[in-house]
Amino acid sequence: MTHASAVMTVMISAARKAARGLARDFGELDGLQTAKKGAADFVTAADLKAEQILFEELSKGRPKYGFVMEERGEIEGADNSNRWVVDPLDGTTNFLHGLPQFAISICLERDRQPYAGVIFNPAANELFWAEKGEGAWLNDRRIRASRRTALEECLFATGLPFMGKDGREQSLKEVNVVLNHTAGVRRFGSAALDLAFVAAGRFDAYWERGLNAWDVGAGIILVREAGGMVAEIDGGPGPMHAASILAAGAEIFDKAKKLLAV
């Protein structure tokens, strides 16, 4: 990708290298060893291998940067301004069930704000990437968020709390309201890809609660660079490190926020 910057090239290369192992394991699901991390929340051998590869490749490309990783936690770097926020396998449950809706998510956080992001689904060979001021891309094609203005024409996406997670009553209340005013709601099981799909205009809006920085960091910069808007559900400015996120096309963002104020 000739128009990708040096740091973006590092991110894309790391994602593609880690994805090779995920693709192999996805084709051999029966041989995967899984360990239970919590109620219906699984860590796979594939997940851990991908994280190790990402750690090694990103450390090689930018040795002074710190990390925030789903399994390893926070690792301080010599550079206090830059750190990688990484989810090696977003959509683990989909992966384990043979559903090709999962992704590697890498965010470069600069001064605690998302600066660049890569979301790669190896099953679909779809690489979403964005860097501040450079637009959002799907493989080599520029992407833009939806410009729909009528809620009744809009398709929303969300996540729902699974077994052992709090907040189901609130989520179902929100889903019911959205269903009554829009073209529908989808629940695909990967926050990173949901945000990437908002950036690509496939979804008009996406909301969810109870996420972590590695779930949403890369998607936030993608949506913003695609011309969309991202905030907390109540409009707060810090969705990457908050308990909720709302992303939508700019024309319907305020309508979506009002809809979710239930």
What CATH number does residue 30 fall under? 3.30.540.10
The CATH number of whichever domain residue 204 belongs to comes to 3.40.190.80
* Residue 201: inside a domain: yes
Question: Which of these three, 98, 113, 143, is where a domain ends?
Answer: 143
Element at 113 (helix H, strand E): strand 113-121
Question: What is the Cα–Cα distance from 94 to 84, expressed in whole angstroms?
Answer: 24
105: closest CA among 242, 245, 220, 246? 220
Same domain, 136 and 159: no
User: Residue 210: what are its φ and ψ, rounded to 5°?
Assistant: 75, 30
158: closest CA among 34, 258, 245? 245
Query: In the prediction, which pLDDT does 128 show?
Result: 98
Same domain, 11 and 139: yes
Question: What is the Cα–Cα distance from 94 to 83, expressed in whole angstroms?
Answer: 28
Instruction: Give the domain range for residue 126.
Output: 6-143
- Least confident interval from 6-20, 66-80, 137-151: 66-80
Number of domains in the chain: 2
Query: In the prediction, which pLDDT does 71 show?
Result: 80
Query: In the prediction, which pLDDT does 41 show?
Result: 45
106: closest CA among 43, 55, 41, 178? 55
Same domain, 18 and 137: yes
Same domain, 157 and 138: no
What pTM does this model have? 0.93
Same domain, 116 and 161: no
pLDDT tens digits for range 13-33: 999 999 999 998 888 776 555
Axis crossing angle, helix 191-199 with helix 213-225, rounded to the nearest 10 = 0
Question: What is the Cα–Cα distance from 164 to 248, expressed in whole angstroms?
Answer: 29
* Residue 107: inside a domain: yes
Same domain, 107 and 156: no
* Residue 59: inside a domain: yes
pLDDT tens digits for range 163-201: 777 778 888 999 999 999 999 999 999 999 999 999 999
Same domain, 54 and 136: yes
Confidence of residue 160 (pLDDT cuts 50, 70, 90): confident
Environment class of 240 (CB within 10 Å of its CB; exposed 0-12, middle 13-18, buried 19+): buried
